Structure formats: structure tokens, C-alpha cells
Structure 1
């Protein structure tokens, strides 16, 4: 699920960049047309036209974009499709951030290869994947506070106590288990009534 979320996020960024590129190219085309069409005038007249163009750009831009029906239809169709895609991606992103029902969790995926070795170093890939599994189970975001992350009874089971910064007094206790080739999977979650690790 995490991989799909990253892919949708990357596609959304690419869509926004493509829209920006189209807008820039359209503006360049408008200015180039004005410069070349006024090329027969004297240099002084050209400078005056450029000044007027800069002052009237906001008023002329809609008119220029409508004068060519083919460009208008193409841009309108692209914008409509893009807006629908963005809305769909935003809805899916919001759904991904919601906590999954207990017992319906799936492995988050992993970049680790070979025989699994528990590594609780905070700069390790295993640590990052454990944090991702804890966020997945609780629905918390990148601001999640890990109060305690420890062995959960076996080398492939971990117990984590985490909370939202705004609700530090009632953290979640989550157990996650390692699945070879698939990564960490949440298996149990409950919300504590108090935080034994809060000073």
C-alpha cells in the first residue's frame, strides 16, 4: 500500500509539472507572436508596444487564448481531465491516511533482501520500515512520536508505543510482525489510557 501511495504522489507531481510547462509554453507563444507581428514597425514603436503589452497582459491573455479554437479545445480538455485526476488522487490519498480496520492489515512491503536481521538503529532501513508499519496501523502521519520500540517476544515481532503530538497522553500500543519478502505487518493495536513513557 505504501508503494502505491508513493506512485500516486509521484504521478500527481508529474501532472502538476506538465500543466506548468504547458502554461509557460503558451505564454512564450503569445509574446513571440506579438513581437514578430510587430517586427515591421520602428524600434521605438516596438518598445512602446512591449510596454503596452506588459500593462495589458492580464486583459489580453483570455482573448488571445480564445482566438484559436483548436488551442482552446485542446487546453480545455487537458485541464478538465487533469482536474478530475487530481481530485481522484486527493480522495485516494485521504483514504490511504485513514487507519485501516483492525485485523485487515497487509504487509507494507520492504526493500530489505536476504536473511532478515532485526536492526533497531534509527538510520537503518529496518527502522524506517517499522515506523511506516506503525503509521499504517494507527493512521498517524510523519509527525508521529515513537515513545518505545522494542522486541515484542521474538526476533520477528516488535512492540511499539507511538502517539500523535497533539495527543501524547493516550498513545497507541501496536504489535507488528515480520513477513519474509513482504515486510512488517501490523497484527494488534490498542489505545492506552495513559502514557507510561511521558515524563
Structure 2
């Protein structure tokens, strides 16, 4: 056998070697391109899916918050309605009637009025003394009937009615032109109780 290749054989061998290298480079490039395509596809589909989760969570949270706010609003509205109903029920015992009597604008009565209590023992003793228990209890009843605090109430006149178990007081709030005439009756062991109130057109006890 000859120890060397002919020129043609060497040429063919070099061409084959060059083709192998070219094929190897092309195959490597193809693998790299496929890998890049896979990475990009993963990023688009899977990363996009992950990003959608927070959006869905936010949507669920917003829905939950809206439902909670609606529930709280409904609860508040219900509480207001109950309070209004209680207030209406309380006010339903109070009656205000226009009056045709001279110098009387309105007559006010309230079936929920109760005696204001008493410290008097051994029977009721009517008193016109401003330092007596009876007088102080009458002032308490006048304040209770009109809603005017005692320290803001001006007493224009306070007298007994047909009997000493009846009292009539003419009062107004300080610096207020509205004047009331309050009729009281004595309840044994329980104190003075308002019976009716006249809202006067003019203060006739000045």
C-alpha cells in the first residue's frame, strides 16, 4: 500500500471534513434557536398566566370589599331605620293641638308623662316657699314637662290650682320668647305629674 494519498484523495478528505464541521455548526445553531424559542414561549404563556393571578386576586378582593361595604351600609341603614321607628313610637304619645282659647297657641299632652318622684313623707303639704321641698319638686316637674333645664328656666308665676293638689306654672327658657303654662297634679307617694301644657302666644305674667 502506498504511504501517501494522491492529491484527489486529499482533496476529497478535506471536503468531507469541511462538510462535517459545517453540519455540526448548523445543528448547534438550530438547537440554540429552538432553545430560545422555547424560552420565549415559556415567558409569554407561563409568566403571563402568573401575572394574571394577582389581577384575579385583586378583582376578588375588590368584590369582597364591595360586598362588605354594602353589608355595612345596609346594617347602618337598618340601625337608622330602627332608631327612627323608636323615635316615632316615642313621639306618638305626644299630642299637639291648635287651640282657640285666648292667648293659647297650642295645647300639648303626653300620655307617657309620669310623676317626678317626691321626698315628702307623711302626706303632701303644698308650699309657696322657694326653699321648700314642695317648691323644688314643682320646678323639677316643670322642667321635665317642657324639657327646659332648671338652671336655664325662668319661672314667671307658680300657683296652686282649684286645690292644693294642683299647680300651674308659667315658664320659659332664658332669652327665649316662647312661654309655656304647665298644669301639674299631685300623685300621692309619687310626686307632681304634668297634665297638659299651653304654649302661649304672649307671656301674660311679665
User: Scaled by the length of structure 1, what TM-score is found?
Assistant: 0.48
Of the two, which has the highest radius of gyration? 2
The answer to which structure has the higher helix fraction is 1
